[in-house]
Amino acid sequence: YPAAVLSGTAIARQIHKEIQASVEQLVAQGNRRPHLAVILVGDDPASRVYVRNKTRAASLLGISSSALLRPAGVSQAELLDLIDQMNRDWRVSGLLVQLPLPGHINERAVCNAIAPEKDVDGFHIVNIGKLVLDQRTMVPATPAAVWEIIKRTGIETVGKNVLVVGRSKNVGMPIAMLLHSDRNHERPGGDATVTIAHRCTPRDQLAHHCRLADIVIAAAGVPQLITADMVKEGAVVIDVGINRIHETGSGRIRLVGDVDFEGVQQKAGFITPVPGGVGPVTIAMVMKNTVTAARNALAH
């Protein structure tokens, strides 16, 4: 029988309700609305969509927001100066810089320039360090979304085999961190046995590890990478991939994940679609981090 399709849209809606309640409580207590500032450099169409999705979600949830647009040619010094202004602006609760940045700008320097307590993407080196040490911190939104989908669906992770396909510092690595670490630590982990595959993993070995996995998390950016023959009967398959492919014939651009959805659906127990899976939950987690940042600022 076919897998249950995990609706990220439905899970995001549930998280949105919790965030709205939290925001309204803050406001009822006489505080300003949380504010998210998003910096966008250049005019990459995908990045523009992401930024618009974030500011739109914010306004739906009662979070105020601003999109700060800079041309692709902006200098690194100008960008760092803008970040510094936002860091010092007490009205700004959360701040993120949409990645990727143009080649002449050092992304690491930019991520490290954001005040760690406003870093709603969780990319500051101190926040990554805390994540790796299982300390409470801003968890990057995509890994946090994968975690929420698993937990809210009631999927057991303790002692399970998890395969994470992809080792990027913003996605694959932190997902693996969350799932392998100890459930009794300050930032609870999944206590799973985690394997990380990446571009040096031969295809036959990828298939081999995949067949052992109770949970497969695909974050490689390769369409059709995970096929039905690789998946264990009843496995949980979470598709983090967002690939834009030109449809043959129509020439239209279509969004697909890293998983052969049609095929894998016949074999898996749970599967997330693309679009409508991890994506909407990721946006919700940026909003949640913004409210957390606003609350933390009050406590100081």
Catalytic status, residue 17: no
Q: How many residues does the chain have?
A: 300
Contact 83, 114 (CB under 8 A): yes
Closest approach of ligand ADP to the CB of residue 204, in Å: 12
Concerning whether 182 is annotated as a catalytic residue, the answer is no
Shortest gap between Cβ of 68 and ligand ADP (angstroms)? 23
| 142 versus 157: smaller Cβ distance to ligand ADP | 142
If we measure between CA atoms, which residue out of 290, 291, 293, 287 comes closest to residue 57? 287
Which residue in 95, 111, 197, 291 binds ligand ADP (CB under 6 A)?
Answer: 197
CB 32 within 8 A of CB 62: no
Minimum CB distance to ligand ADP, residue 240 (Å): 6
| 101 lies in the site for ligand ADP, by CB under 6 A | no
Contact flag: residue 145 with ligand ADP (CB under 6 A): no
98 binds ligand ADP (CB under 6 A): no
Ramachandran angles phi, psi of 215, nearest 5°: -130, 125
Q: Establish if 102 lies at the interface with ligand ADP (CB under 6 A).
A: no
Which residues contact residue 296 at a Cβ distance below 8 angstroms, ignoring those fewer than 6 apart? 117
Taking CB under 6 A as the rule, does residue 11 contact ligand ADP?
A: no
Name the token pair of 273.
């679609």
**Among residue numbers 238 through 277, which ones bind ligand ADP (CB under 6 A)?**
none
Tell whether residue 172 is a contact of ligand ADP (CB under 6 A). yes
Looking at residue 226, what DSSP letter applies? B
Residue 108: is it exposed, middle or buried by C-beta count within 10 angstroms (0-12/13-18/19+)?
exposed
Sign of CA dihedral 44, 45, 50, 51: positive
CB of 34 to ligand ADP, least distance (A): 26
Select 45 or 154, whichever has its Cβ closest to ligand ADP.
Answer: 45
Q: Look up residue 132 and give its two tokens.
A: 């790796």
Q: Are 147 and 194 in contact (CB under 8 A)?
A: no
Q: Is 199 in the site for ligand ADP (CB under 6 A)?
A: yes
Q: State the Cα–Cα distance between residues 297 and 27, nearest whole angstrom.
A: 14
CB of residue 168 to ligand ADP, shortest distance in Å: 3
Q: Which of residues 203-242 bind ligand ADP (CB under 6 A)?
A: 206, 219-222, 225
Q: Which residues are catalytic?
A: 54, 98, 121
Q: List residues binding ligand ADP (CB under 6 A).
A: 165-168, 170-172, 197-199, 201, 206, 219-222, 225
